[in-house]
Amino acid sequence: MEKYKHLRYAIELFSADWELTEEEYQETFSSFVNAEPDYTKRIKKELIQALNDPEWSWVKIGYETNFIGSDDSEESVWLSVKDLIWNVIASNEEPPMRRFV
């Protein structure tokens, strides 16, 4: 079983392969999460787990999925995920924090 498959799928929705504007990516993702509230809960749960997983790499998943927020910095990719995904699935909650070294 693939680790954090729901989170990975959410990140894949922001693949540069789609060549959308940032607004189009966000509209697509918002439509998806509004239609699938249970899936949204799974994404949120996995996102929190990934932040606490020392083996998880935001950089690696960014490059594997061709994520529009890809970068060589774990913190930078996380900040893109926070802006594009967390702020949609949990807009009224503070994002989880992780120290990046």
Tell me the per-residue pLDDT of 53-95, one tens digit each, with 9 for 90 and over: 999 999 999 999 999 999 999 999 999 999 999 999 998 999 8
Reported confidence tier of residue 97, pLDDT bands at 50, 70, 90: confident
**Statement: the pTM of the whole predicted model exceeds 0.75:** yes
Please state the domain extents for the chain: 5-89
Other beta carbons within 10 Å of 73: 12
Other beta carbons within 10 Å of 43: 26
